[in-house]
Structure formats: C-alpha cells, structure tokens
Structure 1
Amino acid sequence: MLTILRHIIQEVTSAQDFREALDIMVKRIANALATQACSIFLLDRHHGEYVLVATQGLNPQAVGKVRVPINKGLIGLVGEREEPLNIDDATKHPRFYRVPEIKEEAYRAFLGTPVIYHRQVLGVLIVQQEDPRRYDESEEAFLVTLATQLAAIIAHAEATGALAELLQSSKEKRHELIYSGVPGAPGIGMGVGVVVYAPYDLDTIPDREPDSVEAEIQLLEAAFSAVREDLRLLSERLYPALPPEERALFDVYQRILDSADMGKEVADAIRAGNWAPGALREVIQAHVRRLESLDNEYMRERAEDIKDLGQRVLTYLQKNDRTTPQYAEKTILIGESITPTDLAEVPEGYLAGVISAKGSGNSHVAILARAMRVPTVMGVGDTPIYELQDKEIIVDGYYGQIYVSPSPNLRTEFERLIQEEKKLDAALEEIRDLPAVTKDGQRIGLLVNTGLGADISISLAAGAEGVGLYRTEIPFLMRDRFPSGEEQRIIYRQLLASFAPRPVIIRTLDVGGDKPLPYFPIKEDNPFLGWRGIRITLDHPEIFLSQVRAMMRASEGLNNMRIMLPMITDATEVDEALRLLRKAYTEVRDEGYDVEMPQIGVMIEVPSAVYQARVLAKRVDFLSVGSNDLTQYILAVDRNNPRVANLYDALHPAVLRALIQVVENGHQEGKHVSICGEVAGDPVAVLLLLAMGFDSLSMNASSIGRVKWVIRHFTHKKAAKLLHEVLGMENAVMIRCHMELALERAGLGNLIRAGR
C-alpha cells in the first residue's frame, strides 16, 4: 500500500491544475482499493454545503452541481464527527440522504473520512461499493492517510485562489444567492421582499435659529401627539394573537415620548436657540450616543428604538405623512434596522419573515418576532438589502440564512420543511399543558428564563411551570440611575402576580463582567474574573438591601418568590448574604408587610462552587447551575470571542462531570437542584440532564415545547443508558453527534431542525 500511496501522491502533485489533481485522486483511490466509487466533496463555507467536485463511479454530470447541506446525510455526519464512518449498508442508516442526481442507489458499502487541515474540516473523501460490507482496517487507514495528503493540496488551492474559483464556477450554475446573519426567531418563511425605508434622515437635519420659539414648541407638541396616536393605533393593529404584554412595548415608547421627559429636553433645546427639527436631532443623537457607548449589547439595541421614534416625530415636524409600503400577501419585511413599529404596520396575516441588516437576538424586534412566531434573521450587514425588493426570498431563522431567488428544487425542499414545522407545532401545542414526564414516569419541571416584561406572556403561552431565572439587571440597565425601591417593587410585583401561584426565582443584581451599569462604571483588565455579581452587592450592602426589600414587599399575599445569589465562590459570601437577607426581612415585617421569608438559593457558576456544592447546599434551600458561565470558566473559553468560540460547548466531558457532581452533592443534602442556561433548552442535551437527576430545567420560552417533546418520548432508563455511553467519550463533538443520532433514531431529528 505504501508504494501505491507514493505513486498517487506523485501523480497528483504533478497535475496541471487543482481540478485535474482531484480527478486523478478519485480514479487512483478507486483502483487501489478495488472499489466501485470514490468521490470528493469540498465544503463551501459561505453557503454551508458540501459540493461534489470529483468522482469515479457516480454520475459525472453531477460534478459541480450537487450540493449537500452541511447538516444532511452521511457526508454531513462525517464532517460533524470529524472522524471516519464505515458502514456496511448506507441506505439503512438514519442519516442516509438521497440525492437523485448522483445516482448512488446501487451502492451499499460506505467509507467516508473527513479532510481536515489545522482543525478545519475542508471536505469529505468517500468510497462506495455495491455489495454490503465493511471496509477493513487497512483500507480505512489508507483512505485516512490520503485524506491528510489531500488536505494539504486543498489548503494550497485555497491560498492560491484555485479553490474559490472551483466553488464559484459551481455556484454560477445555481439560481439562488445565499446570505448569512444571526438567528433572530426560529422557523422558515417564504415570500416576497418588501424593503422599508426611513422617510427622512434625522442625522442630516441642520441647525437653524427659530423664527418663533413658541410656534416651534407648538409644532413639536403636535408632532409628539400625532406619534403617540400612531403608536396607539399600531398597538391595536397588532395581531390578535399577540398578548397584551407584548403591546406593552408600545407603552414604553409612549413614556419615552412623554413631554415631561424627552419632549421637555427638545423644548429646552428650542428655547436655547434651535428650530424644532434641529433640537430633536440634538436630543436624539445625545441619547443614541450614550446608549451606543455602553458595552452592554442589550442597551446598544435600545438606541435603535430611540432612532425610530426620532424619525417618526421628524416626519410630522416636516408635515409629511409616512409612506406606507405595498405589502405582499407573503411579505418578507426587510430594512436597515427593522423596528417593532415596522412589524406592527404589516397587515394581519401578511408577515411571513423578517430580515434586518442590523441588530441581534436581543433586539426588541427579535423578541416580538419570536412572540409572533415569525422567522427572523438579524445582522445581515453584508447583504445588499435594497436590492431585495420584490425578490422571492426564503428566511431560515434556525441557521440565520436567507435565500434569494431560490431554485425550484430548493423551494420544494423548504416547502416540505414548512409542512413538517406545522405538523410539529401542532403536536407541541397539544402537549403544552401536559407535564414533562418520561414514558416510565420520571417527571422534571420546565421553567423559563426571563428579564423583560414582554417575555411574560410568551412564557405562559409556552406552558412554563414558573420562572427559573429572572434577571433583575435589565431594569437597572434601562435607566440612567439606580431604580428606587418602589420602582423595583412594581416591576417584581407584576412578574410575581403574572405567574402566581407558580414559583418565581429572582436573581439579585448581577452586573459586572459583560454587563456594566452606565451610571456605575467598572473598568477592569479582566472583568470576568473581577468585581461582579455578589461581590459588588456585598461590597455595597445599601444596593443589596434596597433590592431584596423591594422583592419581599412585592411578594406580599403571593409568596411565590425565591431569591437566588449569583457568582458565589465561597461559603462566607453566602453567610454574609443570608445575614443581610434576614435583616431585610425583619425590616419589611416591621413596616407592616405580611410576608414569609422566601427560599434562598445560590448559583453554581464557577469551579470552586462545584467543589463546595455540598457545603453551600447545607446553608440554602436550593442550588441552580448557571451553565453558560460554568462552561466558560471550566473550559477557560470566552464564549464571546470568535477565535475560541468553537471550543465552547456545554457537552464537554469535563462540564458534564461537574454537573453530575453538583446534582449528587445537592441531593445528599436533600435540596432541589436546577439548571439554567443554553444547555437546559437544548433538545440534544436534555436527556443527559434528566439522567443526571436535575429536578428542573430553566430555559428560553421558545425551547420549552421541544424539550418537553423529547422528555415525553424517552424513558428515564434510556436516558441513563445514553449518559453512561457519552461519559466514555473524549470530546464534545463525539457526544453531541451521539445524542443527535439518538434523537434521529427516535424520529425526533426535526426538533433540532425541520427535516432532520
């Protein structure tokens, strides 16, 4: 074999060009292994597909034309696993993906190996044979060796531009264009592009001395009044299915427009010598600059809301009605920065999808889109959005991709996926009010993570059994000062009353790290290892006491509140916090409030808390794992850093063993143990968490239905078997593939994404 290997490499390296080198390789490999087919699929990262670039044995007319989605078929599985796949009958494998154009129906035996260079999967090299059989170890080793040689050739082609040229020539045969962004709301939407434009550019308004200050102020008041009325009508026009709490967003807009706040600022700028449009520009820009200067992504998103309001007021100041777009029956709404009011203006039943050049999954528009169940892609900054008017478009809210002018085959595929989604949604709706209980009777609680008032009705409609994490920092971040005790009490009371009698776990203020307060700046070289969470509030007991007193006052007559302490690293922090909590309780009782002492819990977010879990459990009523931070600290990976983001995975064996230890230690003290964070809402991970013994899971509302569906379709015994199997695996990729395969074999692959 070694001699044959050398001859193949010599012949390939002497090829005239990259395409010829690939053709030589597939022919020589097929001959060397005496197999009937050998093919190379290269990964087109921009489009998320494997492209057939060379073959011996499959349909030669399919070269350059056939593209396999990155998550499909045995090709996709080899790439996901990053290791060889050797099976005797490919057609019986649950991941078999039939592509009629390549005419591989006759082949049964399949051996595929990834082509990897510097940890990056570049493609997949496969061999096939008609008779069912497993290729032997020497054949597998031979193919793996050639794949390493092929990787170097592909890397060189990438550096010289030959790879891009090859993939581009394949792309030119396609009808559709594909662009990528950030998933905003899950689902698949198909329709016609309708681009919305801001009618005037507020930033270009010049300064001008007013002819009459009073006349300008009257014009301003009339404009503010007109916009308030517009917002009221838009709120009423929102879909009947959208609960009142989502319309509360428009109440926030109304408050911003209140003459005692922003209106007064603009009026003062007019009195200082600027006409109304110029004064409005001054005030709006000042607010926008302040918000955009913050490190917190959520607050930066609020700048877009302020801009939207400013544009609407400017429209009336210039006495010109806002132009209404011509909406298609299946509208894909597109804009530089889509706002909630843009969503509200689309006629009922017309909105099929949303594309925004700016924004993220934390945007108000993304939150509303999820509530309205409208597939959404955010942050498509490189997309020529103004060229998408009247184009046929597919929005994939799962992967954050948009397809422009799709081919008939692609359209047919997505239409099928939409039908599968509808069937799944109907099935999930049927179990909304049923418990999350396995086939053999094991029950687990499903709660929701929240931090916005707009999330409340979404959570209730999803069938949440309570709140596993309420992030109190969001009301703090939305202000330019610390909220008063009474302001906090009102917020907490609304939350507690909405969920009563369901339990609500409220986390004390957790700022620092990536969540600095604009009015309480914290400048540190390493904020994630610095002054954050409980460390700040214990150093400032006045902040802590004011907050927990407000929580306790809000719970009067409801008594469904629990308090959770974040970023605990040492038992002495818990002791000090408990002392302050008892002090606050005594003070609230002395004020005449008839409240019970709430249950107290701690978040397990750092390795030291994992090893002290039993010590901590002795002191409190419950433990809750914060999986996002715990994964980050165990793996020493900043999940916001794109250079190392691929190393961040909560299914890493070290993280799984830490979770098991926390559950065991908490239960040894007879305490409730829950987990919140992304892993709790991941259908791929839920069976492992169930088998570990977690008492409840807390997740985003949109994940509850899918997680419940998984739990109700498996037994606890099967979940325990899967946990035992993955604990013998060495990396997160293997574990994730193993769990995805388990879901697919159970017929639940569509919970990961429609069509799987």
Structure 2
Amino acid sequence: MERSTIVRVHDGLHARPATRFVKLAKSFEADIELVKAEKSVSAKSSVKLMLLGVKENEEVTVRATGADAIEAIEALIGYLENPLSGTGEEGAAPAEATPVDVAPRKEPVAAPAPVSIQGGIRGVAASEGFAIGPAFGFFPQEIKQENRMLGHDEIPAEAARLRQAFATVQERMDRSLAASNLAESDRGIIAALKDIASDEELTEAAAALVAGGIDAVSAAIGATSKIADDFAAMDDPYLNARADDVNAVGRQICLALLGQDDANLEAIPEGAILIAEDIGAWDLARAPLKRIAGVICGHGGATSHVAIIARAHGIPAVLGLGHAVHELETVNTVALDANSGLVFANPDEATARRFHDEIAKAEAVKQSLKAYKDITPKRADGTVIEIAANLGSLEEIEAAQEAGAMGVGLFRTELLFMRHIHLPSEDLQAETYATLAKAFAPYPVIVRTLDIGGDKPISGIDFPVEENPFLGWRGIRMCLDRPDVFKPQLRALLRAAVHGNIKVMLPMVSGVDEVRATRLLIDECAAELKAEGRDHAAFDLGIMVETPAAVLVAPMLASEVAFFSIGTNDLTQYIMAADRLNPTVAKLNDVTHPAVMAAIALTAKAAVEAGIMVGMCGEAAGRADLIPAFVDMGLTELSMSPSSIQRAKKCVLDLGAAPDQHFP
C-alpha cells in the first residue's frame, strides 16, 4: 500500500523534522519506506531519511506493509503535508509562532573564505549581536584512529565493547534530556543527536567494521566519518550541517570506548567568549549558557545546531572561521560582531570602545522594554488594551509569563491533537485547559476549538482529498460534522472553566448558523455534565473573523457572540485570494493592503457598535507600525508571540492621543 504527496514541511526533512517523522513511523508495526525519485529508504531510520535529502515541495511516496499500514500512511502523509511539522515539542509548531529553534528563513549561504579585514577575521554571522570579553578556548584533544587489526578471537569482545559504548552514549543523552534545567529548544536538538546515536545505519556500519577485524575506536570513527561525508556532500545547507552532528556523536562514542570524559564547559567564566574549532550541540546545550557572552567556532554555519542554540538563548555567534580560529587560541580578549560575521583578536582601545557602545545600546533597548512587563497599557481615554500571548502548548506558558502577557489571546488546540497517535481524551483535554486557566488567572484565556483540516490532518479523523484544503472541510465545518470529536472538547472546556477565565472561540466561521449549532452542542454538553454530577462552568463564546463572509455579516455575528478575534493570517489570504504558503504570490499576502485593512476596520466597527470585545490574534497584532491603527479602529486586545509583548505594550503607551490615521 502506498500514497504519494508533496512535502510541505518547512525546509524539508532535516534534523528534527526527520527525527519526529521517524518517531511517528516507529509507533506503527508496519514496515514503512519513504520513496523519492525511485530511491527508497526505511522510514524508521533518521540517518537514511536525512540522507535521502527530501526537500520542501518535492514529491515523495510513503509505502507501508503490515496490519496498521493504512493508519501509518494516513499519519505520515499528514505529517509531510504540514509546513510546521517537527518544529515544536513532539509535534508541529504553532501556526503563527516564529520558532526560535529553527534557522532563519532566508536561504543560508556558504561560509566565505576566512580573511582578515581591518584586523578582523571574517566568518558566518550565525546569531546576531555584539560581544567582547575574555577568550575561553575549548580545544579538546583530537581522537585518532588506532587502525589496529584484531585477532579472530578478539572480535567478540571488541564488538561487545562497541555495543556498550553506544549504550553509554545513549544513556548519557537520556540523562541530559531528563534534566529539569534544559530549555525545550535544546531538548529537541539533543533528542535528534540521540536518534543519530541509536540509528541502525551508524550502529550496524560500525559493528560491520569490527566484525571485519578493525578495532572499535577506528570503527566508530570510520563509520561516523563515512556518514558525515555523505551529509557534507549534499547540496542542502541544512543537511550539510548534520555532518557536524554525526561527528560529534562519533566523538562521544570514542570517548566512551576509551573510558574518558570529554572536556566540558563548566569552568567557563562569566562574560567569556567561547572559542572552539568545533563544538558538539550536546556539549553546548549542557553548558552554563548564561555565562557565555559569545561563541566563535571554526566549523558550523547559520543552519547548524550550535547556531540554533545560540539564537534561542540570545548569544551572539560567529561560526565557520575554518583554520583561522586557531589564530585565537592564545588571545586574551576577543570581540565579535555577529551582525556582520567579524571577529577581532585583542581589539585595540578604539575597537573595544565601539563594541562596548554597541552592547550598551542593545542592552538599553532590552532593559527599557523589560520595564513594560507589568504595565497595563491604556488608550488615551483610559480604555485598557490587553496584550496577550499566542500559545500552542503548556511548555510555552513560562515564556509568556516572563514577557508579561495579560492572558492568552489564542491557544491553538490542534497541537494537543497532533502530538498524540490517537484523539486526546476528554480528561486529558480538561487537564490541559485547566492548567492554562490557572496559570494566567484572573486574565482571560481564549481557547480556539479544533482548527484542523486537510492541510494538517490528525489521527482519528479521515479527511477527504481536496484540491484546496484551505477552502475545504476544516475548522468549525469539520467539528459540527463530527460531534464525536467536538463534544469531548466542549465538555473539557466547560470543566476547565471552573478553574479560571476560560473563553472559547470558533475558527472558520462563515455565518450565524454555525454559532447557533455550536451553542446547542454546548447546552447539550452542560446538561450531560450536570446529570453526571461533574463540576463545570459557562464560558464566553466568540469567533475568529478570518473569512470574507464573516466580515460581511459581522453585524449579525456580533449579536450572537461575546467577542471577535481577527485572524489576520487567514483573513489576508482569503481577502487577497493568495495562498499564504505559496511563495510565488507571497507579495500579495500583505496585511497592510487597503482591502485587508478595510476588512479589519469593518469587523471592528461592527463589534464596537454591538458593545462586544474585538481583538486580533494574527501575526500583525505585534507590529508596532500597525498597532496605532488597530487601536484607533477600536481593538482592545492584541495577542502575539511572547517576544513581541513588551514592545507592543510600549507602543500602546507611546500613542498618547488617538492616532491620526483612520481606515474606512
């Protein structure tokens, strides 16, 4: 049994998306292969899958044989057709979030040859910012192949020693994954490394070399070098960067064979610049990152895991210096301009002063925004403008709280459904929503009911094949047709409402009939819970305004619901008739287009006249250049990525008087 599709995973099946794909494949008993251009590999091997080089927008075929082959193909095809698969914890990343643990969307370029420029060394600008501080060299001793031939009677013991080394490395990585102080973004990277360390492609290749009479250390180096070379030869920068990961895993296996612990970064002083020829993502993820002011590395590029970790923690990084990094082994002080990729060894007084000035400016901006964390921004007339967070999982709560979120303006429940092989139970959903409500009480938490369609299917729901899933059976349309899926979610939300200020909004609404049908189901669920003697409470019901139909009948809808939340991402693509995932029409996906701004204004006008709250939960809500216009239209709630919250609060406070700009 097989099925073909076009891969929509952003940037294709590189490290973490491949790891998650393999994990999903392994949850099925069926034998599963992924086929690209007549070449097939096991879908249960991360290394083989990545070496297949599957890119975004390429056609592949999923082939499965076994008792659960149908379920396997449906789940894996759904994964491949979701643009954000593999970028969030155990599932797809939230739709409007900007993941901090993925490489920049611009196409990475190869590192230029290191050259001296005005006393500086040129590398790859991998994580922006400026840093200057004492140099901390990290140059562990190179492990060399012994190239020792084994006697026939030595092979069994050497093979057992190799197996134990692989097991030791996996156990060490498991301990790292279990650490409570590990950031979620780093956890995903270590999980990907562990997957490489346990992949049959690597373990069997090393075992075959030992069986042929090569010592275990040489076998481990040989096997990892071969796979690393295969990655390095690929024409995809994301997959090129996996060569460093494979070599890092190989080093750990060799150290385990030798009974040695690798040099670690525990001794790095506060404010130091880490300098290394190469550093494994595992080493960096476990390092005291708050002490590190900057990272300089001979290997790596903008898509390497070292760069991803640095960006996630706001650490300036210049990578890809090549052999020129050894010029820095003996320096005392180093400065790096990670915006342009320049490194300065023992900078002179003028250069040091320039760096300190740049650092001070950046820190001033950062600190000034922190002052807005606990501020309640108000319009000139005293109306409070709630600045809330868009979230997709409970793991994101802490970041939103640290940013000063005034509740949650959008909780995307689809991730809760996508991360499980089967539909999540009512109890699991109730617990999730209650945890969210408690975390932000007394602020409101707006939960969007299941927004799943053919473009991002889940296990347990069979979706029809549609020419354009964005215009198909999705959101409230699907939920009303599947009360067996919808009612457990509504019951869970009623139960969670006991614990905080839960509000519920419906996606993809086109008319009042959908709202009224949902109300009947809510009443039915409430009656059932009452009969069962379960605690529950009523919640405000609102809608996302994201279809042109909803805009045009907004006055009618406003009389039926408690609030509007404008979803600018989908609203823009529907108003402009331009698929937001299609790069050839990307320029049309502009929220500032007069037609889109007019639709937002019409929606706000209907809400204000009806006396209900109107907010926004699309990416545009965090844009400082648009916030004045949105506030002027009457929006009183803006929900966004946590990283934009403090700047948005400042923007509202800076308005002073009502802005001059008006839209029809």
TM range (shorter): 0.5 to 0.7
Pick closer, same or farther for the CA change 1:387–1:667 going to 2, 3 Å.
farther
Counterpart of 2:370, as a letter, is E
Counterpart of 1:531, as a letter, is W
Cα RMSD (Å) of the superposition? 5.2
Deviation at 1:599, TM superposition (A): 1.2
Which residue of 2 is the match for residue 754 of structure 1? Answer: none
For the pair 1:534 / 2:496, whether they are aligned, the reply is no
Work out which of the residue numbers 467, 485, 491 in structure 1 matches 2:408.
467
Deviation at 1:559, TM superposition (A): 3.2
Which residue of 2 is the match for residue 634 of structure 1? Answer: 575
Pick closer, same or farther for the CA change 1:187–1:338 going to 2, 3 Å.
farther
Pick closer, same or farther for the CA change 1:716–1:350 going to 2, 3 Å.
same
Q: Which has the larger radius of gyration?
A: 1
Deviation at 1:450, TM superposition (A): 1.1
5 Å-filtered alignment, 1:141-540, equals 188-189=130-131, 224-231=170-177, 235-236=180-181, 246=183, 318=257, 321-324=261-264, 329-331=271-273, 342-346=284-288, 348-352=290-294, 357=301, 372-374=313-315, 390=328, 393-396=336-339, 402-404=341-343, 415-438=356-379, 441-512=382-453, 515-517=456-458, 524-540=466-482
Instruction: Tell me, yes or no, if the aligned pair for 1:637 and 1:647 is still in contact at 8 Å.
Output: yes
Pick closer, same or farther for the CA change 1:625–1:402 going to 2, 3 Å.
farther
Pick closer, same or farther for the CA change 1:556–1:441 going to 2, 3 Å.
closer
Structure 1 residues 2-43: Cα deviation after superposition (integer angstroms, max 9, x where no partner) = xxxxxxxxxxxxxxxxxxxxxxxxxxxxxxxxxxxxxxxxxx
Pick closer, same or farther for the CA change 1:420–1:315 going to 2, 3 Å.
same
Counterpart of 1:444, as a letter, is I
Deviation at 1:498, TM superposition (A): 1.3
Separation of aligned partners in 2, 1:639 and 1:443: 32
Instruction: Tell me, yes or no, if the aligned pair for 2:166 and 2:253 is still in contact at 8 Å.
Output: no
Deviation at 1:470, TM superposition (A): 0.9
For the pair 1:679 / 2:652, whether they are aligned, the reply is no
Instruction: Tell me, yes or no, if the aligned pair for 2:377 and 2:653 is still in contact at 8 Å.
Output: yes
Separation of aligned partners in 2, 1:662 and 1:545: 29
Pick closer, same or farther for the CA change 1:404–1:252 going to 2, 3 Å.
closer
Work out which of the residue numbers 598, 602, 608 in structure 2 matches 1:667.
608
Separation of aligned partners in 2, 1:385 and 1:570: 61
Separation of aligned partners in 1, 2:342 and 2:189: 35
Work out which of the residue numbers 529, 554, 565 in structure 2 matches 1:613.
554
Separation of aligned partners in 2, 1:364 and 1:499: 33
Pick closer, same or farther for the CA change 1:529–1:411 going to 2, 3 Å.
farther
Which residue of 2 is the match for residue 593 of structure 1? Answer: 534
Separation of aligned partners in 1, 2:505 and 2:554: 15
Pick closer, same or farther for the CA change 1:384–1:220 going to 2, 3 Å.
closer
Pick closer, same or farther for the CA change 1:626–1:347 going to 2, 3 Å.
closer
Q: Which has the higher contact order (CA 8 A, sep 6+)?
A: 2
TM-score between both structures, scaled by the size of structure 2 = 0.61
Work out which of the residue numbers 542, 557, 561 in structure 1 matches 2:502.
561
Deviation at 1:626, TM superposition (A): 0.7
Counterpart of 2:598, as a letter, is R
Deviation at 1:503, TM superposition (A): 1.1
Deviation at 1:663, TM superposition (A): 0.5
Counterpart of 1:462, as a letter, is A
Work out which of the residue numbers 491, 503, 510 in structure 2 matches 1:549.
491
Unaligned stretches of 5+ residues in structure 1: 1-167, 201-208, 239-245, 279-296, 729-756
For the pair 1:692 / 2:629, whether they are aligned, the reply is no
Deviation at 1:227, TM superposition (A): 3.5
Deviation at 1:660, TM superposition (A): 0.7
Instruction: Tell me, yes or no, if the aligned pair for 2:124 and 2:301 is still in contact at 8 Å.
Output: no
Deviation at 1:563, TM superposition (A): 1.3
Separation of aligned partners in 2, 1:624 and 1:494: 23
Deviation at 1:596, TM superposition (A): 0.9
Deviation at 1:594, TM superposition (A): 1.7
Deviation at 1:611, TM superposition (A): 1.0
Counterpart of 1:552, as a letter, is L
SS at match of 1:479: coil
Instruction: Tell me, yes or no, if the aligned pair for 1:224 and 1:313 is still in contact at 8 Å.
Output: no
Counterpart of 1:321, as a letter, is D
SS at match of 1:510: coil
Instruction: Tell me, yes or no, if the aligned pair for 2:123 and 2:321 is still in contact at 8 Å.
Output: no
SS at match of 1:454: helix
Pick closer, same or farther for the CA change 1:344–1:216 going to 2, 3 Å.
closer
SS at match of 2:431: helix
Instruction: Tell me, yes or no, if the aligned pair for 1:449 and 1:699 is still in contact at 8 Å.
Output: yes
Structure 1 residues 461-497: Cα deviation after superposition (integer angstroms, max 9, x where no partner) = 2111100011122233333333333333333232222
Deviation at 1:248, TM superposition (A): 10
SS at match of 1:619: coil
SS at match of 2:450: coil
Deviation at 1:216, TM superposition (A): 9.3
Separation of aligned partners in 2, 1:503 and 1:321: 50
Counterpart of 2:433, as a letter, is Y
Separation of aligned partners in 1, 2:544 and 2:156: 57
Unaligned stretches of 5+ residues in structure 2: 1-111, 144-154, 211-215, 220-237, 329-333
Instruction: Tell me, yes or no, if the aligned pair for 2:438 and 2:500 is still in contact at 8 Å.
Output: no
Structure 1 residues 58-111: Cα deviation after superposition (integer angstroms, max 9, x where no partner) = xxxxxxxxxxxxxxxxxxxxxxxxxxxxxxxxxxxxxxxxxxxxxxxxxxxxxx
Pick closer, same or farther for the CA change 1:337–1:225 going to 2, 3 Å.
closer
Separation of aligned partners in 2, 1:431 and 1:489: 33
Counterpart of 2:480, as a letter, is L
Instruction: Tell me, yes or no, if the aligned pair for 1:210 and 1:216 is still in contact at 8 Å.
Output: no
Identity of aligned residues (%): 28
Instruction: Tell me, yes or no, if the aligned pair for 1:337 and 1:358 is still in contact at 8 Å.
Output: no
Separation of aligned partners in 2, 1:177 and 1:642: 36
Counterpart of 1:570, as a letter, is G
Separation of aligned partners in 1, 2:530 and 2:250: 49
Instruction: Tell me, yes or no, if the aligned pair for 1:446 and 1:465 is still in contact at 8 Å.
Output: yes
Instruction: Tell me, yes or no, if the aligned pair for 1:366 and 1:376 is still in contact at 8 Å.
Output: no
